[in-house]
Amino acid sequence: MININEVIEMAWSDDVTFSDIEKDLGIKEPEVKRIMQKNLKASSYKLWRKRVRWIKEKKKKSKTDFHIMK
């Protein structure tokens, strides 16, 4: 049984990736998105998606910067 509160808490964390959620809870990214959309207000879901995209871009950029520095 999936603990919805745990999924939401992990998904909101800046330090937890979708891969981490999948390892810990066995839930893939699309399912996490569905859970978030179903259990958050529309405005909260949109804010969360914006944060997720921003964090992904930030991490992608830092990896690129790291490879350039090598």
Q: Which domain holds residue 32?
A: 4-69
Count of domains for the chain: 1
Residue 67 pLDDT: 54
Task: Provide the Cα torsion 11, 16, 17, 18; round to 10°.
Answer: -40
Residues 6+ apart with CB under 8 A from 48: 11, 12, 36, 40
Task: Record the pTM.
Answer: 0.79
- Rounded-to-integer distance, Cα 7 and Cα 33, Å: 10
Residue with tokens 């207000």: 41
The alpha-helical segments, DSSP class H, found in 26-41 are 29-39
On the question of pLDDT at 21 being above 90, the answer is yes
Per-residue model confidence as pLDDT tens digits over 39-53: 999 999 999 999 999
Residue 58 pLDDT: 77
